[in-house]
Amino acid sequence: MTAEHILHRSTSARPPAAVRGEGIYVIDSDGRRYVDACGGAAVSCLGHGNRTVIDAIAEQSAKLEFVHTGFFTTDPAEELAAVIADLCPGSLDRVWFTSSGSEATEAALKLARQYHLERGDSRRSKVIARRLSYHGNTLGALAAGGSIWRRKPYEPLLIDVALADPCFKYRFAETGESAEAYGQRAADSLEREIQRLGPDTVMAFIAETVVGATAGAVPPVAGYLQRVREICNRHGVLLILDEVMCGSGRTGTFLSCEQNGVVPDIATLGKGLGGGYQPIGAVVCTKDVYDTIARGSGALKHGQTYNAHPVGCAAALAVQRVIGEEGLLNRVEVAGTRLRELMAARFGNHPNVGDIRGRGLLLALELVADRGTKAPFDPQLAMHQRAKSDAFSRGLLIYPGGGTVDGRSGDHILLAAPYNVTDNELEMIVDLLGQTLDAILPS
Ligand code: PMP
């Protein structure tokens, strides 16, 4: 290898070079095989090296690698939009393509602002997000997120975004409070924020349907999202659901919010949409949002060079077709149930595992110093990082997270296996993870 010029995530450590992927395995330049139990960051929904997707990419690259959306549309973009519209619930049926989840958040926020402008309501510019949430790392998306450590260095550069409470039962429900009652209480914090800001000034509320990276696979309790939907309707606030991590089938339905019977005005997608085969994200909006713009100025005042990239769209189209043809949404549900059972059997009574949670194949366990009091480990111990390193040394890839409780303390481990994971692979994941937890946890 020649001199180093790449700025890695850490300036002190160069990660091993990955050279190949095969199903659930990533293989490095020394021939070591890693079981990819997290798809990087819940990306690789079909595992690695899927022939159908690779062939679709090769075919589109050979036909037409790129055109700019200012001049042309393409078949893969039109077809992918139709597939997404078909898979999405309610009247979510217009799609804007981006190259990442963060860009989808940015576009969704601009779309929300423009929607209100086109209605002649220029006062609405304020965004409400939730504490312990993540919507991306570009400045607008970072501002609209509630991840303290990610925001801190850039705080002076961020637009003002109000933060409502998360819906995180394990941590924030009172003892004896029913899930239902807690969900209503959590949703009511949104209404308080709307009242505080002035209902006529709020343009959108943005939330992850299932919280991913910041809190570790936290699904909303029953009734919470319905109440949020009602509150948004009551105040003319658009509901943006971030399905970048939990959408595209990761929880067993195309959008995770389908399981809550709630349809947002705008949904964002990324990660599993293209399964990592190409960088692609999307914003899906309802007919009402689209029609408002069509009746008004007739154009979204936004655009980036790689919007609706033909090869990206062809890859995502192939990924979604494989999911449909192989019945993988059903497999997500079955495999998710199986993985949860295996985790419950192995870690359910572990004194340092406080909670096992999630939906479909987006699952997590939260590590605690004391199961009875739910006290987290001292953040100095960086238990989630220890877990990642130990697992890595055993050939297991997991997605760790810190700051689970309040943005500073708390540790969780996120698992996001491919939708076509086998039962044997699930057993292997839990076995290796068990070895890691035995090695790093005190009891
Ligand atoms: N939203 C959510 C819920 C995410 O998990 C992520 C990525 N972790 C993003 C947005 C941003 O996506 P990207 O990293 O592709 O910009």
- Residue 423, in any domain of the structure: yes
Ligand 1 centroid from CA 414, angstroms: 14
Whether 431 has a pLDDT exceeding 80, the answer reads yes
Over residues 366-384, the mean pLDDT reads 97
Ligand 1 centroid from CA 346, angstroms: 30
Ligand 1 centroid from CA 31, angstroms: 30
Assign 146 a pLDDT band (cuts: 50, 70, 90): confident
Cβ neighbours around 61 below 10 Å, total: 14
- Secondary-structure percent of the chain, ordered helix, strand, coil, rounded to 5: 40, 20, 40
DSSP 155-171: GGGSPP-EEE----HHH
pLDDT at 266: 99
The answer to whether the CB of 208 is under 6 A from ligand 1 is yes
Assign 442 a pLDDT band (cuts: 50, 70, 90): confident
Which structural domain, as residue segments, surrounds residue 289?
A: 54-325
The answer to whether the CB of 136 is under 6 A from ligand 1 is yes
**CATH code for position 337:** 3.90.1150.10
Same domain, 297 and 390: no
Over residues 271-298, the mean pLDDT reads 98
Over residues 418-424, the mean pLDDT reads 98
Report the nearest atom of ligand 1 relative to the CA of 270: 15
Ligand 1, atom 10: closest residue by C-alpha: 135
Same domain, 188 and 128: yes
**CATH code for position 150:** 3.40.640.10
pLDDT at 135: 98
The answer to whether the CB of 102 is under 6 A from ligand 1 is yes
pLDDT at 430: 98
Q: Reduce the DSSP state of residue 22 to 3 states and report it.
A: strand
Q: How many domains, in total, are found in the chain?
A: 2
The answer to whether the CB of 244 is under 6 A from ligand 1 is yes
pLDDT at 132: 96
Same domain, 236 and 116: yes
pLDDT digits (tens, 9 = 90+) for 8-27: 999 998 999 999 999 999 99
Ligand 1, atom 1: closest residue by C-alpha: 135
Mean pLDDT of the chain, nearest integer: 97
pLDDT at 4: 87
Same domain, 341 and 236: no
pLDDT digits (tens, 9 = 90+) for 244-277: 999 999 999 999 999 999 999 999 999 999 999 9
Q: Reduce the DSSP state of residue 267 to 3 states and report it.
A: strand
Dihedral angle, C-alpha 316, 320, 326, 328, nearest 10 °: 110
- Residue 300, in any domain of the structure: yes
Asked if 123 and 201 count as a contact pair (C-beta separation under 8 A), the reply is yes
pLDDT digits (tens, 9 = 90+) for 215-236: 999 999 999 999 999 999 999 9
pLDDT at 105: 98
The answer to whether the CB of 147 is under 6 A from ligand 1 is no
Over residues 171-183, the mean pLDDT reads 97
